[in-house]
Structure 1
Amino acid sequence: VYNEEESLPLLFDAIHQALASLSRSWEVVLVDDGSQDGSLGVLKTLAEKDPEHIRVVAFRRNFGQTAAIAAGIDYSKGEVIILLDADLQNDPADIPMMLEKMDEGYDVVSGWRVKRKDTFITRTLPSRMANGLISRITGVELHDYGCTLKAYRREVITGFHLYGEMHRFIPVFAHAVGAKIIEVPVRHHPRRFGQAKYGLERITKVLLDLFTVKFLLSYSAKPIYLFGGAGIGIITFSTFLLLFLFVRRIFFGISVFGSPIFQISAMFFILGFQSILMGLIAELQVRTYHESQQKPTYTVRKTINIFKNK
């Protein structure tokens, strides 16, 4: 929730309509991300009106959407967690359908705004380009990473921390631990109150976070593959330059040390060696991270006839 004073009462009614008829327990954790309007006051009123279901977490200042989502996950208790923006563009009426998909055995149900009601040039087009790039780099094919409306089993999203704009990559992290993912079309409505909080400036942040996610997924357990591979490649290039200088010296009598290529090759050789050393240092850090926290390098979906020693 960020400056959604007018939307909150309607959101409250829509959520109640969607969930009240379900034969399961539920709660709504509303995270106020440092709103500057009367949103917090409305949240207090809603919490007093329905103390059984409504929880409120109020930030001291605006920390951003990713931090708000992280807080919502931390303060929630349910086995299934559904994320939802407070701006009424996503429809809570889609929640029962998503829960049905969860009951079919999926770990992640991702919303897809097929008929998106946003400005095409500044929001829809950049989003489509970002979705294609993320899908290609991560290998997790989704049409709409930016749709907040997604359902998760708690067990697949609580083993990592969220920073920056990382909330859109939660399905990627879930996929990394073996989550079964499905994408379903959801309704999308034009914004009724206020204005959009994001624009084109978000693209740079998403791209930088994408580099981070790719590194964490592919090389966090074995960083030597990245640093060592880069080092070997740089040293190989340096070696070819030295061989070129050697051949030129033997057959054409051109001095090796008089050419700037020699300095370049020597510099590349040193850089390659340093990259390998960085990989070894990173390997030590990874081992310290896992062993100090007794953090396993695997995830288990379920066990049969297995009893842990006490």
Structure 2
Amino acid sequence: MDLSIVVPLFNEEESLPELCDWIHRVCTKHFFSYEVILVDDGSNDNSWQVVQQLRQENQRIKGIKFQRNYGKSAALNEGFKAAQGDVVITMDADLQDSPDEIPELRSMIIEQGYDLVSGWKKVRFDNTLTKNIPSKFFNAVTRKVSGIHLHDFNCGLKVYRKKVVKSIEVYGEMHRYIPVLAKWAGFKKIGEKIVEHRARKYGVTKFGWERFVNGFLDILSITFVGKFSKRPMHFFGLWGTLFFIIGFIIALFLIVSKFIDADTFITNRPSFYLSLTAIIIGMQLFLAGFISELIARNAPGRNNYLIEEKTGFQEK
């Protein structure tokens, strides 16, 4: 199968028929074999009934319905699990992403050899201060932290090589940082394409201001887990040792000064409490690293590594 098109949705009953018809026209025109996986994230309108009706009209359309609302990341993760196409495309269900972009996005994977290509909505129709400024800030932070030079990490229109979506797990609010997850999984060729952004035709946006706070916390989580998930002691132990040494040096200085000036009360000096605090923090960090190391060594996935290719081995 050429394409799997994963569409997470929440209360999008009006836009689904038009979207699926548009996808069908594009794929038929270019002779793509395809499937559309509609993931209903606990909608409370008639979205699932519409999905079932569309399935009856077109057997290439498949549906997954959550019992309650879990979020876009969960919807994408389930869609990725179900995807069978060699190339996987994600897009939003609100018709702000154009299916006309599908052929060029697919070409960048098949012909140009990218692992992942993210859309960049350079010209937007929702360019409000409350959305645009925070978005630019978090994109800049993510570029700096991850080293991936994309302008719009949050764009829903993305295309992946199948192996990418089968190698990552999307959870929490991590859908904004799938390129970062892909990079930590070892996929280096990540590209960007300017795509059309369309004005919303039906309904209202489903995302509020809290996505910015959650997004900031998630990028910290991704960075830490990506670097230190299999060796947490390297992080906690380093900082724990550093704080402990600083506290110990200050304490040693205070003890020496006590011998020089016997009338000085160590506990009356602010540096005593600074030393004590640094030693306690250092011990806590070191203990946290030790416990994390024990957990990591006993985790079921402690020796699960992504292997790109093997040679000389017989298939079992």
Letter of the 1:280 partner, please give it. Answer: F
Give the aligned partner of residue 43 of structure 2: 35
Give the aligned partner of residue 171 of structure 2: 163
Of 248, 255, 266, 2:276 maps to: 266
Q: CA deviation at 1:300?
A: 3.2
Q: Gaps (5+ residues) in structure 1?
A: none
Q: Deviations over 1:125-168 (max 9, x none)?
A: 21111111111112222110110110112212323422211111
Alignment length, in residue pairs? Answer: 305
Give the aligned partner of residue 122 of structure 1: 130
Letter of the 1:277 partner, please give it. Answer: L
Q: Report the Cα distance in structure 2 between the residues aligned to 1:38 and 1:293, rounded to whole angstroms.
A: 40
Of 260, 276, 286, 2:296 maps to: 286
Q: Report the Cα distance in structure 2 between the residues aligned to 1:234 and 1:219, rounded to whole angstroms.
A: 19
Give the aligned partner of residue 67 of structure 1: 74
TM alignment of 1:145-294, pairs within 5 A: 145-179=153-187, 180-253=189-262, 254-259=264-269, 261-289=271-299, 292-293=300-301
What TM-score do you get using the length of structure 2 for normalisation?
Answer: 0.90
Give the aligned partner of residue 135 of structure 1: 143
Secondary structure, aligned partner of 2:192: strand
What TM-score do you get using the length of structure 1 for normalisation?
Answer: 0.92
Q: Report the Cα distance in structure 1 between the residues aligned to 2:219 and 2:302, rounded to whole angstroms.
A: 28
Q: Gaps (5+ residues) in structure 2?
A: 1-8
Q: CA deviation at 1:263?
A: 4.3
Q: Report the Cα distance in structure 1 between the residues aligned to 2:280 and 2:69, rounded to whole angstroms.
A: 45
Distance 1:294 1:309, change over 3 A: farther
Q: CA deviation at 1:110?
A: 0.8
Indicate if the aligned counterparts of 2:243 and 2:279 stay in contact, CA closer than 8 A.
yes
Q: CA deviation at 1:267?
A: 3.9
Letter of the 1:236 partner, please give it. Answer: I
- Percent identity over the alignment is 37
Q: CA deviation at 1:252?
A: 4.1
Q: Report the Cα distance in structure 2 between the residues aligned to 1:233 and 1:82, rounded to whole angstroms.
A: 46
Q: CA deviation at 1:25?
A: 2.0
Q: Report the Cα distance in structure 2 between the residues aligned to 1:238 and 1:308, rounded to whole angstroms.
A: 57
Indicate if the aligned counterparts of 1:157 and 1:173 stay in contact, CA closer than 8 A.
no
Q: Report the Cα distance in structure 2 between the residues aligned to 1:19 and 1:283, rounded to whole angstroms.
A: 49
Secondary structure, aligned partner of 1:27: strand
Q: Report the Cα distance in structure 1 between the residues aligned to 2:31 and 2:115, rounded to whole angstroms.
A: 20
Which moved further from structure 2: 155-164 or 35-44?
Answer: 155-164
Indicate if the aligned counterparts of 1:89 and 1:190 stay in contact, CA closer than 8 A.
yes
